[in-house]
Amino acid sequence: MIKVAASILAADFLNLGADIDRMRAAGVDYLHCDVMDGRFVPNISFGQGVIRAAGKSGVPLDVHLMIEEPDKYIDDFAALGAKIITVHYEAAKHLNRTLAHIRELGCLAGVSICPATPPEVLEWSMGDFDVALVMTVNPGFGGQKIIPSAVRKIAVLRDMIEKSGASAEIEVDGNVALNTAPEIVKNGASLLVTGSALFKAENAPAFVSQLKKLEP
């Protein structure tokens, strides 16, 4: 079953509450919250205050930490009600320990890899994460074109997970739209993060419904 996460980075922050209400009415499964520090990625987005406000919507929060030293902030975001907390393989110095701590806090543990990072780096972490987030654009800014080679990594990662006997969902973030999602799902993703395409859609409920109807 396909799940959809609305990336609030694409929202109108002057009308954030209204946009989040619109996403809830559209039937999204998560609000995807990209926390950026201006160091791990060039952009700076938002922090605990926005996450706290978004949590009042009742839509589960999918918090993606695009930051250096993520361990310093995991407890904060767990306390704010995050359902999923995802850290980057490239930023977590002790990945397995970090993932274990996220689970100890009662959250689903996610690990993300950038487009140039091979999926094989996660071989020895199989079973330690609940969600693997594949970035199909370089992290830091919305509205980028999809990187085809990054899409191919989804199938490799799905095969790795199945062969290991582990259970984990593959999430994809980066130019997920109605024309790109079918291939992404065909390669093995089941949680789709969509930003600009969803927020700009004339009929958001229909957009979400179409994504959820996709089959591998």
Q: Which of 19, 29, 62, 173 is catalytic?
A: 173
In eight-state DSSP terms, residue 87 is: E
Query: Which residues fall within 8 angstroms of residue 202, CB to CB, at 6 or more apart?
Result: none
Active-site residue flag, 34: yes
128: tokens are 């330690």
Where do the H-state alpha helices sit in the chain?
Answer: 16-26, 48-55, 74-79, 95-104, 148-164, 181-186, 196-199, 204-212
d(CA 134, CA 189): 9
Q: Which of 34, 37, 62, 130 is catalytic?
A: 34
Active site residues: 34, 173
